[in-house]
Structures are given as C-alpha cells and as structure tokens.
Amino acid sequence: MAIIGFGSEDDIQWQCGASLISFEFVLTAAHCLYSLVNGPARYVRVGDLDISTETDRAEFQQFSVKRGIPHPDYLAPSRYHDIALIELDRQAIKTEFVAPACLDTVRFHEEEQMIATGWGKTSFAGDISSHLLKINLDLVPNDECRKFFRNTPKEFLDHGIDDEMQICAGGGPLQDTCQGDSGGPLQVLGDNQVYTITGVTSFGKACGISKSPGIYTRIFNYLTWIEDTVWPIDQRDKPIDL
C-alpha cells in the first residue's frame, strides 16, 4: 500500500492511494497524477500505517516522483482507462512493511468479495483518515451496476460501465471507498498470504450516502501495458528478490 502526496515538501497533501508493484514503480489511477489545487503528484510513501505520526511502529519509506505515466488512452474527464504508473526516484527496500503486490492474471474470480484499502475520507465531505483502513466489498454484476450510472454525463461515461475495463464493487451498508482512496488497490488475499491487485479505485457517487457501488479499473485488461512499462522485454530475464 502506498500514498501519493502533492504540494510543497514542508506541507505535503496526501490525496491518493497507490500499490507498490515493483521496487521502482507504484500503480495508481490516472486522475491521481495531477491535482487542480496542488499541481502534479510529487511524493510517494510506502510502508506507513498512520500518516499523522512518525512514532508508530511502521517503518515508512518516502520517495519523489521521477515520472508519472498515464495510460495512453486516458483522456480526462473520461472515467475510462483511469490507470497510471509512477516511477520512484530510487528503489524501495523490502521490509516487514514494504513488499510488491502481485498483479491479477485471472479475468473471472470465484470470490464474492474483494478488499479495498486506503486513507480516504470515512464519510462524504468528512476528514481524511490518518490511519490506514480496509473494507470488504461485494462484487456487483455489471448489468446491475450500469443502472446506478445510467444518468452519468457522456463526457465521463459515454457508453456506461464497461465490464472489460472496470469492476463494480460495494453498494451495501457502509461498503464504499471515498475521496482520498482513489488510486488505491482493490485486491484479494491468496492462500499464500500474498495480495493480488485486481482493480484500482477510480470513482463513485456520494460515498456513505448513495447506495451505488464504486468503480475500479480492471487490472487484467491492462496487464500488457503495465508489464511493457515496468518490465521491458530486455529486462524480464533479470532475477528479482521478492
């Protein structure tokens, strides 16, 4: 789990989540690369639990953004292809608190629930959580999901929720991600106790108020682009210490 910061170094505004997928890259939402108020994403922190203190037991590592790489088909304000990579200014170090997650290589899942994590708001128009939180979200079938977003303006969703590039999850009582969770992972925990990233938190309606589910960019649809960017062909035979 990673968090993305904006603004000046002496007053960092932590506004988005991300996932460490290699020791040099985090995965996030394309709309998290730039803030209308605070400008481009400038910092990434991994390994933290409570972002309000440095005296908890976490051992965080903080980086500058070397470059942000939005998906080539992303075009704001559209909600399609809302996925991006951030290259760190140096390699992360594996610790008890820091390790790369796996990427989903399965199109269909038997799980009825997936896990979302982040430091986002705990209610609509509320405050950002200083503590890392997690929630189990119910998967919502696409035909049901599309009903909640059928009146969304065309510039955001010109053909509705797209099941190939998006996952719909949540919709139950207090089941939602919120502002500040964008870019963070939707994930499943395998039998080997390794998290696999299935989606990237993208958008939703009024969290905690609306009964509509949240929308997550489907990782499986973007595997080739991610691999070609993070692990170019000429580097894929090099050993990786996990």
Cβ atoms of 65 and 86 within 8 Å: the answer is yes
| C-alpha dist (Å) from residue 102 to 7, 26, 140 | 30, 12, 23
What residues are paired with 218 via a beta bridge? 199
DSSP string, 130-177: SB-EEEEEEB--HHHHHHHTTTS-TTT-TT---TTTEEEE--STT---
Which residue among the candidates 22, 31, 176, 202 is catalytic per the annotation?
Answer: 31
Give backbone dihedrals phi and psi of 137, rounded to 5 degrees, phi first.
Answer: -120, 135
Q: Give the C-alpha separation, 117 to 161, whole Å.
A: 22
Which ranges in 67-123 belong to alpha helices (H)? none
Cβ neighbours of residue 236 closer than 8 Å, sequence gap 6 or more: none
Instruction: Indicate the residue type of 76.
Output: A
Residues in the chain: 242
* Known active-site residue 159: no
Residue from 22, 129, 182, 202 carrying the catalytic annotation: 182
Q: Of these residues, 48, 82, 104, 176, which one is catalytic?
A: 82
Is 39 in contact with 7 (CB distance < 8 Å)? Answer: yes
Which sign does the torsion angle of CA 156, 158, 163, 165 carry? negative
Q: Which residues are catalytic?
A: 31, 82, 182
